[in-house]
Every structure is written in C-alpha cells, then in structure tokens.
Amino acid sequence: MVKINLEACKGFIRQEALQAYQQKALAAFDTLMAGNGEGNDFLGWKTLPDETPESLVSACEKVRDDWKAKGVELVVVIGIGGSYLGAKCAIEALSHAFVRPQGVPQVVFAGNGLSEDYLSELLDLAKMRSTAVVVISKSGTTTEPAVAFRIFKDFLEKTYGKAEAAQRIVAVTDKSRGALKTLADREGYATFVVPDDVGGRFSVLTPVGLVPIAVAGFDIRAMLRGAAAQKKALLEKSVSNPAIQYAAMRNLLHSEGGKAVEILVTYEPKLTYLAEWWKQLYGESEGKDGKGIYPASVADTADLHSMGQFIQEGSRIMFETVVSVEKSHRTLTIGTDPDNLDQLNFLAGQTVGHCNAMATLGTRLAHIDGGVPQLSLSIEKIDEENLGAIFYFFEFACGISAYVLGVNPFNQPGVEAYKKNMFALLNKPGYEEKTAEILKRIQQ
C-alpha cells in the first residue's frame, strides 16, 4: 500500500491555498467516482483489480505453462507506450538484477522504437534461443510494433514452420478491430482482449501487462490483490485520502507555486521503469490544451552526481516526488578494515540500506533548503502486491489530478501529429497531399 507524507511541502504553500486545492480535488474525486467527467468512456481501469475474472488470470498463466513445456528460453514482447511500459516496469522491478532463475525465459522488449541495430541484435539473440513472441497493440495499427512483429513473425515462421510459429505467438489487441486482430484470427494465434474502455497507459492490469508479467514468472494474482487493496483504501472521500492529497498538492505547487516540472525520484535501480511508466501516465494524461506539469525523473543516488547540481541550484522550476521503499529484500553490512585506507570505518557495521536511507533524507533536506518542495510516497517493499498498489494509486490520482487541472485525462490527440508526418514521409497511401506539403517545407 502506498503511504504519503506532505510535511516537507508545508514551507512552500499557504494553508488557505491548500484547502482550496483540497476542495478542487474532492470535487474531481466525485467526478471520477461518478464517471461523469470528460473521457468517461475510458474508466474501465477503475474496476480491473477486483473484476478481473479467474478465467483470464488462468489463461495468462497457461501461456507461461505452455511455453515452459515447449522449453521457450526467450520471449520477445512487442509493444510501445502503454502497450509496453507497464510490463517493462513490473518485470524490471521484480527480476533479479543479474541472474535469471532456471526454467524462466528471458523477457525482452521490441517494437518500442525503430532502431535497426536494436532489432538486428535482438534477432541475433533469437537465433540462439528457443523464442516466442507476445505482440501487444490495442489499435492493432501502430507502426513501430507492426514493423517489429512483421520481422519476428517472418523469423519464427522460417525457424519453426508456420504451424509451430503460430503456437509461439500470442496477440493482445482489440476484441474485433485492427490489422493485428485480423492477422491473429487468420493465423490462429492465441488472443487476449484489451478492453474498449481502458486506454493504453491505464492498461497494465489488463492482459497488456498481465500476459508478459506472468510469462516472466511473476505472480499476477498478487499484483491484482495489491491493486484491489489499494483501490479499497482510495474510496473514501476525504482530505486524508492519499490520492486526493497527491492530486491537490501537485496542482497547488504547479498553479500557485509556479512549478512547471515534477521529478519522480527513486533510490532503487529496479524502480527506474516505474518512473518511465509514471511519466507516460502523467505526461499523456495531463499535457494538453497548453496545460500540464512536465513529468521528469531521476534515479538516485546515481543522478545526484549528474542532475543533483541543477536540482539544488538551477532554475527553481521543479518539485520532487520521492518514492521510497521501506524494506530491502536483502541485508548487506559494511565490514571493518583494520587499515582503513578508504577511511570508511565510520560506516563499519552499518547496512548499505541504512546509507541509502540517509542519502535519501540528506538529499531531501538539502533540496528543501534549495527551494524544491518534496512530496514523499513509500511502499513497504518491491513485490507484486506493492507494485499493483502503486500502479493503481498513480492511475487513480492521475484521474483526479487531471480533472483538477481541467483536462480530459483519457485522450491523447497530440500523439497523432508525428504519425501523420512519418506516414507522409514513408509514402503511405492516403497521405499524398501531406507528403507534397512536407517536401515543400523541407526544401525551403
């Protein structure tokens, strides 16, 4: 479960202003709960934690078991944006940083860019391993994953034959529309549905996240359980509801405090992709109509040695939201060295975790002194339940926060602009007029 502490913001805000923003957040909470705000045809994510049927969970686990029985060693998960970041975040957070357990496939990602070298090198790996593919696209028409899938489908069919390749491909897509759905039906791939009323960045608890996370060997039931417990904790209409507190404070710091940037700060390398997932969630949900807080991130303590200078003394445009983990899974104690040439004996007997906690505290205090308000979120440990909880917390708080800001949290009209230009430049049929316009523009 996610805990919040906003004490360190107090010196930066006026109490009456906070109360006003709390009222706005309470009203936004009502809108979200009643489902009568903008984008209300995309609220399916709200009930996923406790309404995901057992049959769906077992179907995700069956993919894991079937591929295990086949001896699959490498699973390429193809998707981009909301069809990528949730699974990537969970798998990075839950995996051993260096060693994979016996019998569990390596899960890698593709289709989240158009790098020729990346795809070529991934094919090199696939040639050395027994490989399967999960292709994820709600629309079924997104170019980056479609290109990667065409390449990997061809690879699988040439390597294993068409019939066996079809057993090694799972598609996660719309229930009836899109090129991927047509292809999956024709080729007989196992298919999972992305619900109509769940947008990409809110889809980690649908098969978009659940299939890859299960295949990577993690407990999706515990993840849904954690999300369900967090959901229950967020249902109360109260200023002590952590989602309401977070939404109110970030909007207050933005609108009245003039802070244009929120930096999500983590002190666990395994949570680096939590920040990437969060950036998409908040960036795409709020950054529109000329509004929004720019979501950024740092991975400390590493980034204290790069971005720390700017955060301490640069333009005062940001506040920080620090995500802490209360307990590490392992304990590592720093030893005594009789020679003490490294002059570290003052740390002898202390754990590395304690040093990390003191680095977190020291940095927070320094950044407060430097004029950077600090919001604090914490989870007990990194496991499936807590990840489910923090996913749900951020999604729910995002809905409230965007309504406070006055935008539709669930659309993303701006992402079409680059696509139109790219299609025109790649001579996609139907874009001839745009192609001519762009060519004229770039020749000038």
Active site residue ranges = 284, 305, 419
34 or 417: CB nearest ligand PA5: 417
- Residue 81 near ligand PA5 by CB under 6 A: yes
Pick the closest to residue 311 from 297, 325, 324 (CA basis). Answer: 297
Binding mask 277-296 for ligand PA5 (x = CB under 6 A): -------x------------
Q: Hunting for tokens 């209409």 — which residue is that? A: 237
- Closest contact distance (angstroms) between CB of 385 and ligand PA5 is 25
- Residue 112 near ligand PA5 by CB under 6 A: no
Binding residue for ligand PA5, selected from 74, 80, 134, 402, defined by CB under 6 A: 80
Tell me which DSSP letter residue 351 carries: B
- Closest contact distance (angstroms) between CB of 284 and ligand PA5 is 5
Strands (E), 55-102: 74-78
- Closest contact distance (angstroms) between CB of 285 and ligand PA5 is 9
Binding residue for ligand PA5, selected from 37, 49, 82, 105, defined by CB under 6 A: 82
Identify the H or E element spanning 153.
Answer: helix 143-160
- Residue 212 near ligand PA5 by CB under 6 A: no
- Closest contact distance (angstroms) between CB of 292 and ligand PA5 is 15
80 or 220: CB nearest ligand PA5: 80
- Residue 200 near ligand PA5 by CB under 6 A: yes
Considering only the stretches 75-83, 123-131, 231-239, 287-295, report the one whose residues sit in contact with ligand PA5 under the rule CB under 6 A: 75-83
Binding residue for ligand PA5, selected from 145, 226, 292, 409, defined by CB under 6 A: 145
Residue 127's Cβ-count burial label (10 Å; 0-12, 13-18, 19+) is exposed
> Which residues, listed in sequence order, are joined to residue 261 by a DSSP beta bridge?
294, 318
252 or 281: CB nearest ligand PA5: 281
Q: Spell out the residues 6+ positions from residue 8 whose beta carbon is closer than 8 angstroms to its own.
A: 364, 368, 373, 374, 375, 376
- Closest contact distance (angstroms) between CB of 157 and ligand PA5 is 22
The terminus-to-terminus CA distance of the chain in angstroms comes to 56
Residue 357's Cβ-count burial label (10 Å; 0-12, 13-18, 19+) is middle
- Residue 49 near ligand PA5 by CB under 6 A: no
279 or 364: CB nearest ligand PA5: 279
- Residue 257 near ligand PA5 by CB under 6 A: no
> Which residues, listed in sequence order, are joined to residue 6 by a DSSP beta bridge?
none
Strands (E), 95-164: 106-110, 131-137
Identify the H or E element spanning 28.
Answer: helix 15-34
Binding residue for ligand PA5, selected from 22, 83, 230, 297, defined by CB under 6 A: 83
User: Based on C-alpha coordinates, what's the Rg of the chain?
Assistant: 23
- Residue 408 near ligand PA5 by CB under 6 A: no
Query: For ligand PA5, how many residues bind (rule: CB under 6 A)?
Result: 14
**Contact present, 113 and 146 (Cβ < 8 Å):** no
Binding residue for ligand PA5, selected from 24, 46, 64, 138, defined by CB under 6 A: 138
Tell me which DSSP letter residue 257 carries: T
Pick the closest to residue 294 from 259, 337, 253 (CA basis). Answer: 259
Considering only the stretches 74-82, 91-99, 223-231, 423-431, report the one whose residues sit in contact with ligand PA5 under the rule CB under 6 A: 74-82
- Closest contact distance (angstroms) between CB of 428 and ligand PA5 is 16
**Contact present, 36 and 187 (Cβ < 8 Å):** no
- Residue 412 near ligand PA5 by CB under 6 A: yes
Query: Residue 192: what residue type?
Result: F
Please count the helices (runs of H) and the strands (runs of E) in the chain: 17, 10
C-alpha 276 chain-centroid distance:
5
Binding residue for ligand PA5, selected from 5, 139, 345, 421, defined by CB under 6 A: 139
Phi/psi of residue 235, each to 5°? -80, -15
Pick the closest to residue 175 from 43, 32, 47, 56 (CA basis). Answer: 56
245 or 412: CB nearest ligand PA5: 412
Query: Residue 341: what residue type?
Result: L
Query: Residue 255: what residue type?
Result: S
- Closest contact distance (angstroms) between CB of 163 and ligand PA5 is 27
81 or 242: CB nearest ligand PA5: 81
**Residue sitting closest to ligand PA5 (CB):** 200
Residue 198's Cβ-count burial label (10 Å; 0-12, 13-18, 19+) is buried
Binding residue for ligand PA5, selected from 153, 168, 201, 259, defined by CB under 6 A: 201
Considering only the stretches 139-147, 243-251, 366-374, 382-390, report the one whose residues sit in contact with ligand PA5 under the rule CB under 6 A: 139-147
Query: Residue 210: what residue type?
Result: L
Considering only the stretches 4-12, 81-89, 247-255, 318-326, report the one whose residues sit in contact with ligand PA5 under the rule CB under 6 A: 81-89
- Residue 105 near ligand PA5 by CB under 6 A: no
Which residues are at the interface with ligand PA5 (CB under 6 A)? 80-83, 137-139, 142, 145, 199-201, 284, 412
